[in-house]
């Protein structure tokens, strides 16, 4: 059911989610689509990178260089063609305290170490653990991030220079526009959204977001409307990024300062990147690439730190703009990064003329397309716990940050599973002369250990008791302790306990524990234990 919502989301942006796309052939038409998609993404990256640089407390070019370098490297070697990476708000809100306390040079050193940690995560293939994130957490992530993207745009409806940074506030803390200024901003934003919605009905030659930006910019310039533009945020003019060794002492004290920030930033960056990787993979019916994406993000951030950038990770908003605009290959991401560099070097005066309302309209359409609206109907049909996890992850993503939200969601989902599994332990019994057989059903682990012990009637059982694990598994140390305690009870009663049909790995687990002595005679054809006589005692005790 949850997967269907992602498929429905893909359908809304005109991408066939249920059919694996074949290899993309580079024709003139395809190349044009990829380049135009990259241009659209680059235009949307400019205000985002500048805004996130302000959030982190650094110069705008620090954010723009990060968007260029991270976007370029991940486009070349990332795990999923079509994904876009750059400077993000999720990382910026963590950086602000570091910059305020120690300065921007410590930020560059932190970004380098962050990248090294991400490379190590990729080399040790830690990215595969993203598969442990349940679909309800994925939906909460999508919804929460859509809300965060939407809230981030509201700051543009305020008078430039009046906003203050407060990571604990839902709304920006600036002075709102009034009168005709607010009316123009809202009107142009809505016009951009209408153009993006209706333009594909006329032609698909030009990506709808790019058409919206171009038409609204033409109206503003042609009629000389006095509205906020990209240039009102900051100048985007600059030169090529220069290699720069972070100017910090290379000693243990520096490591103590930057290591905690590096670990947090690396974790947040990888979680957001890998979840975006999965989301784009659901749309394109592609799998894998997690470890490759970890390495790509790490290399990108390491290089960025040495070139005066603030680091970054995958951006779900820009990735959705790219996919919606037709970007399917590495060319779209590569061209987005190169267009962004061209803006910085040669076209800053033109980019600064673009009205912010046009870019806000693009991002609001991203919000509408990203939010999993189907989750409202899904939550009425799925287990209550899953519905709670969707809401919880959404709220924590908005209230705190993505990494905490995902961790909380996974923990709650795991505890819910453990609770449900703990109630599935049961046993069917039968008596054959002086032997009673307990045929277990369900896993034996810490959650079901107490229920397991309550299944047995030691005093009323005959001389020989067999516990059949054919439909059960011994999972953890709590399970071993429960078996040992049961064996002690039967030994105290002068009765014999046998374990039957333990799988080979369960038998190894019992032996490794060193608390039970198990005699085995494994079946070489089926790898099933025939009967294991259990005698209580520690190895070497002589019992």
DSSP string computed for 30-71: HHHHHHHHHHHHHHHHHHHHHHHHHHHTS-HHHHHHHHHHHH
Confidence of residue 317 (pLDDT cuts 50, 70, 90): confident
Confidence of residue 392 (pLDDT cuts 50, 70, 90): very high
Q: What is the Cα–Cα distance from 301 to 111, expressed in whole angstroms?
A: 6
**Tens digit of each residue's pLDDT (9 = 90 or more) over 351-381:** 999 999 999 998 898 889 888 898 998 888 9
**Tens digit of each residue's pLDDT (9 = 90 or more) over 183-230:** 999 999 999 999 999 998 998 888 899 999 999 999 999 999 999 998
Taking residues 35-44, what's their average pLDDT?
A: 93
Q: What is the Cα–Cα distance from 444 to 499, expressed in whole angstroms?
A: 13
User: Which of 92 and 74 is assigned the larger pLDDT?
Assistant: 74
Output b/e per residue, 271-304; b: 16+ Cβ within 10 A: bbbbbbbbbbbbbbebeebbbbbbbbbbbbbbbb
SS3 85: strand
| Lookup: tokens for 233 | 């945020």
66: pLDDT strictly greater than 80:
yes
Phi/psi at 439 (5° precision): -95, 105
DSSP output for 359-378: HHHHHHHHHHHHS-TTHHHH
Q: What is the Cα–Cα distance from 26 to 158, expressed in whole angstroms?
A: 44
User: Using an 8 Å Cβ cutoff, are 276 and 316 in contact?
Assistant: yes
Q: Does domain 423-536 have CATH number 2.120.10.10?
A: no
Could you identify the residue written with the tokens 């784009």? 280
Indicate the pTM of the whole model: 0.74
**Poorest-confidence range of 42-56, 173-187, 387-401?**
42-56
Q: What is the Cα–Cα distance from 377 to 381, expressed in whole angstroms?
A: 7
Considering the chain, tell me which residue range(s) the CATH 3.30.750.24 domain(s) occupy.
Answer: 423-536
Which residues does residue 497 pair with via DSSP β-bridges, in sequence order? 465
**Tens digit of each residue's pLDDT (9 = 90 or more) over 503-522:** 776 666 666 654 444 444 44
């Amino acid at each position: 059911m949850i997967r269907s919502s992602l498929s429905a989301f893909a359908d809304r942006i005109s991408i066939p989610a249920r059919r694996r796309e074949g290899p993309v052939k580079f024709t003139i038409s395809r190349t044009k689509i990829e380049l135009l998609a990259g241009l659209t993404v680059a235009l949307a990256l400019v205000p985002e990178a500048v805004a996130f640089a302000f959030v982190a407390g650094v110069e705008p070019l620090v954010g723009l260089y990060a968007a260029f370098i991270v976007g370029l490297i991940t486009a070349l070697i990332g795990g999923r063609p079509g994904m876009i990476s750059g400077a993000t708000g999720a990382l910026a809100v963590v950086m602000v305290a570091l910059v305020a306390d120690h300065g921007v040079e410590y930020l560059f050193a932190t970004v380098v170490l962050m990248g090294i940690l991400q490379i190590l995560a990729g080399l040790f293939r830690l990215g595969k653990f993203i598969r442990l994130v349940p679909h309800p957490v994925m939906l909460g992530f999508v919804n929460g991030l859509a809300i965060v993207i939407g809230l981030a745009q509201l700051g543009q409806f305020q008078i430039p220079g009046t906003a203050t940074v407060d990571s604990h506030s839902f709304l920006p803390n600036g002075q709102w526009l009034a009168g005709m200024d607010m009316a123009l901003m809202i009107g142009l934003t809505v016009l951009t959204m209408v153009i993006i919605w209706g333009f594909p009905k006329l032609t698909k030659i030009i990506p709808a977001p790019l058409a919206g930006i171009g038409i609204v910019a033409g109206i503003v310039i042609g009629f000389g409307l006095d509205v906020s533009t990209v240039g009102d945020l900051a100048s985007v003019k600059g030169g090529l990024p220069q290699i720069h060794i972070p100017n910090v002492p290379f000693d243990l004290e520096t490591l103590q300062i930057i290591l905690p920030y590096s670990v947090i930033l690396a974790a947040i960056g990888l979680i957001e990147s890998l979840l975006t990787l999965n989301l784009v993979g659901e749309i394109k019916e592609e799998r894998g690439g997690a470890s490759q994406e970890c390495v790509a993000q790490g290399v990108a951030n390491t290089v960025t730190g040495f070139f005066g950038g603030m680091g970054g990770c995958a951006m779900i908003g820009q990735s959705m703009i790219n996919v919606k605009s037709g970007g399917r290959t590495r060319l779209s991401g590569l061209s987005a990064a190169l267009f962004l560099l061209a803006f910085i070097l040669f076209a800053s005066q033109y980019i600064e003329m673009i009205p912010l309302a046009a870019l806000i309209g693009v991002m609001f359409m991203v919000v509408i397309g990203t939010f999993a609206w189907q989750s409202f109907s899904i939550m009425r049909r799925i287990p209550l716990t899953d519905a709670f996890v969707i809401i919880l992850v959404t709220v924590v993503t908005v209230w705190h940050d993505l990494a905490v939200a995902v961790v909380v969601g996974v923990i709650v989902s795991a505890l819910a599973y453990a609770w449900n599994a703990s109630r599935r332990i049961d046993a069917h019994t039968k008596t054959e002369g002086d032997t009673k057989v307990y045929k277990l059903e369900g896993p034996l682990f810490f959650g079901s250990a107490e229920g397991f012990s309550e299944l047995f009637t030691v005093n009323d059982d005959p001389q020989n008791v067999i516990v059949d694990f054919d439909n059960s598994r011994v999972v953890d140390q709590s399970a071993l302790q429960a078996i040992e305690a049961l064996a002690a009870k039967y030994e105290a009663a002068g009765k014999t306990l046998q374990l039957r049909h333990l799988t080979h790995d369960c038998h190894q687990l019992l032996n490794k524990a060193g608390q039970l002595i198990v005699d085995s005679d494994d079946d070489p054809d089926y790898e099933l234990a025939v009967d294991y006589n259990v005698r209580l005692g520690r190895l070497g005790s002589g019992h």
